[in-house]
Amino acid sequence: MQKRTLGNSGLEVSALGLGCMGLSYGYGPATDTADAIKLIRAAFERGVTFFDTAEAYGPYKNETLLGEALSPFRDKVVIATKFGFNFGPDGGQSGMNSRPAHIREVADAALKRLNTDVIDLFYQHRVDPDVPIEDVAGTVKDLISEGKVKHFGLSEAGVRTIRRAHAVQPVAALQSEYSLWWREPEQDILPTLEELGIGFVPFSPLGKGFLTGAINEATTFDSKDFRNVVPRFSAEARKANQALVDRLGEIARDKGATPAQIALAWLLARKPWIVPIPGTTKMHRLEENVGGATVQLTADDLAAIETALADIKVEGDRYPAHLQARVDR
């Protein structure tokens, strides 16, 4: 697999990463540990060197899983994890927390769970309105100088926050949602990242599975699957949004690819510093996603995609209201 560099940071990663959240959290019961380790190692064997986790995924379980899975080749991969929340006794999130002392506590704990001596990319998971971003960036800057962290990242941060943080400690990457069915970052975020030399790591590049074509209005989700509370995944919204998937399927057939591969290839074609991190729990989907990195879209292909999707309006919010409130503007 080809490599890419995240902005001006010098951090080189595979063109596609692996989002590991779903192996432990969010989409129903956690994957069996042995199967999850097998999938993570299979990704590495296929050229993936960029693995994304967070203390919140489990919580804590996903970092421990990743630490075990990647230990045989730790020096050949880039691990990204995140800080920014408190957790109650039951493991549920109990509010944001990016206070400097807490960031340090999370870093030390994550190093142990990941079975490593350094975190390659340390993201603030969500912007904490109660802690100045300069304090957050300054704390990560100190962790970098101490050798515990290599690079600083932000997630779902707005332009003003990005600029303020970057002035204190260069931001290597922003991780936010971006795909053919969520294109808001094109308005202000992408131009800002290009100006400042910051890489972009789109999560949910396949629309939480919807762009694969495997989900329709009749699909039912596990009771623990967070898509049950996402407005964009209501039966009515899925029915309305089927037109997008149908159109994507037509384009994919013309290219001899799958809808998921076209969706990933489209992101890769946007900018050379964009690195999507599709997640999966299934080996055949891993193979399919990795294949998306080999699909070449020409300027004519990209123009045809724009034309084909221009008249389709995606229905439904991407977060329920209480989670949307955590997105920095």
Cβ partners under 8 Å of residue 6, min gap 6: 12, 13, 151, 172, 173, 198, 199, 201, 273, 275
Residue 158 near residue 241, CB atoms below 8 Å? no
Q: Find the catalytic residue in 25, 27, 57, 123.
A: 57
Closest CA to 170 of 153, 156, 157: 153
Residue 24 near residue 61, CB atoms below 8 Å? yes
Segment holding 152, helix H or strand E: strand 149-155
Name the DSSP class of 221.
-
Neighbours of 232 (CB within 10 A): 21
Q: Catalytic residue at 57?
A: yes
* Alpha-helical runs (H) found in 131-257: 133-145, 159-168, 189-196, 235-255
Neighbours of 93 (CB within 10 A): 16
Give catalytic residue positions: 57
